[in-house]
Amino acid sequence: MSQSKKARLDRFVSQTLYERDPAHPVSKKQVRLMLAQGRIQVDGKPADSISQPIDFFSRIELDGERLQDNRPLYLMLHKPVGVVTAVTDDEHKTVIDLIEHPDKDQLHHVGRLDLNTSGLLLLTNDGDWSTALTLPDKEVEKCYEVQLARPVNDDYVQAFAEGIWFGYEGVMTRPARLDILDDHHARVWLTEGRYHQVKRMFGHFRNEVVKLHRSSLGSLQLDPALEPGQWRELTLDELDQLKASGVRHSAYLNP
């Protein structure tokens, strides 16, 4: 089942039982009888309709046996340079390869960091949550620490604030904040995530990004205790801080 889309209860039960025992398929009519007999429960309560909508985190039981019981997962990873943001890759180690968790096969990354970009990356099995975090309209700020090949000046600050034209897509970037830390170091805040956006914005000035590191996303700061390649689950407090910004989570389901 999709990790964000809803499905009908009868279709889920029928498909799940078929996958477990293809030699004995169960029809929707049989599922209807099971429901009438009170044999199916959804989130601890008797199912009320064969068309009852369920999702990836609905707890489904038949005669006390769990057919589905997925716990929402929200992880923070300190992504190292040289690791690709992907689920699988034939050439490079992926961010999923760094995770040691029994349900790691459910995870997907929230947005992406380039191969040579390090820092805060989130992973989850909650599709609605990841979609909300990456929608530009949510205006969830991402902060990047940047090292540059050439000196940076106040012209960059104004250009970033006004937006920079990306001719390939035919779009103007959203206004971004730029703080100059010293001649070759800056800090950038974005509310969107276009392809190689930070590098291309500095490329507008023919200035190469030598090093790029994401330090925060919304209210979340990269945990300084995490070494590159290490990860941990987000706390409820961290999730609720993002929820206050309009990014809802499912962490209270199926405790």
Domains annotated on the chain, with CATH = 7-68 (3.10.290.10), 74-243 (3.30.2350.10)
Question: Each residue of 150-198: pLDDT tens digit?
Answer: 999 999 999 999 999 998 889 999 999 999 999 999 999 999 888 899 9
Which H helix or E strand runs over 7?
A: strand 7-8
Return the amino acid letter for 204. H
d(CA 176, CA 181): 16
pTM as predicted: 0.84
CA distances to 27, 37, 46, 66 from 32, rounded to whole Å, are 9, 9, 13, 18
pLDDT the model gives residue 138: 76
Question: Each residue of 70-82: pLDDT tens digit?
Answer: 899 999 999 999 9
Question: Each residue of 217-233: pLDDT tens digit?
Answer: 999 999 999 999 999 99
Q: What is the CA radius of gyration of the chain?
A: 23
Catalytic residues: 114
Indicate whether 254 pLDDT > 80: no
The encoded tokens of residue 92 equal 């490079």
Residue matched to tokens 């049989």 = 30
For residue 20, the SS3 value is helix
pLDDT the model gives residue 204: 96
Return the amino acid letter for 87. V
Indicate whether 30 pLDDT > 50: yes
